[in-house]
Chains A and B, each alone.
Chain A
Amino acid sequence: DSGVTQTPKHLITATGQRVTLRCSPRSGDLSVYWYQQSLDQGLQFLIQYYNGEERAKGNILERFSAQQFPDLHSELNLSSLELGDSALYFCASSARLAGGGETQYFGPGTRLLVL
């Protein structure tokens, strides 16, 4: 157990709909990352938040948005859903390492199916 929690585990919805995925980072971690993983694909970086502010942005669609709240949990909002948005969505939080740098710990993911 990494200490990162994600809800829900599974989500089934229809095209055109909007969903919200939730992530709680490990205790004490200030950074949250969101990744998308399509079938048999690698980890596509979407966006990073640090202590409530957007820190880095990857290949995130305009239909997608995220935010990090004062209690450090984060939400990823996906709107106008398309069939191709079906994927696993992972959240990770990062911890500082002794000697500098950071590593990432991943949550169990949310499996989204758009029908």
Chain B
Amino acid sequence: GENVEQHPSTLSVQEGDSAVIKCTYSDSASNYFPWYKQELGKGPQLIIDIRSNVGEKKDQRIAVTLNKTAKHFSLHITETQPEDSAVYFCAASSVGGSQGNLIFGKGTKLSVKP
């Protein structure tokens, strides 16, 4: 089945700097890769996603890149702000697996220092 590795587990940046979170997946059949942001005490919120037929997608300060050959995808946040502080989860679609339709990474706790 699919396995998703996420790094780093914690990330601290200064306000205004960029932050990059990386994930790798194991199943070459995976074709959909969403990213979720979880603020303290809240449920994960979908912030951006990408399909396997696209190499990059951007939404304001957030971008996601996908390298199908290497089976890894990354979340890039530019001009970070304190409100970007949260736990970020990557996920990969699971085809016919036993873990539901998405397999999640273990999360990255991002801290943006003012």
Contact = CB atoms under 8 A, between A and B. Distances in A.
Interface of A: 2, 4, 31, 33, 41-43, 45, 48, 55-58, 90, 94, 97, 99-109, 111
**3 nearest interchain CB pairs?**
A106-B43, A42-B106, A101-B32
B18 interface: no
Contacts of A41: 106
A88 to B, nearest CB: 8
Instruction: For chain B, give the interface size range.
Output: 20 to 34
B43 A90 contact: yes
Contacts of A55: 100
A107 B51 CA distance: 24
Given A2-B43, A45-B100, A58-B99, 8 more contacts: A42-B104, A43-B89, A101-B93, A102-B101, A103-B32, A104-B102, A105-B46, A108-B43
A51 B59 CA distance: 33
B89 A103 contact: no
Contacts of B42: 108-109
Contacts of B97: 56
A94 B45 contact: no
Given A99-B51, A103-B34, A48 B100 contact: yes
B89 A42 contact: yes
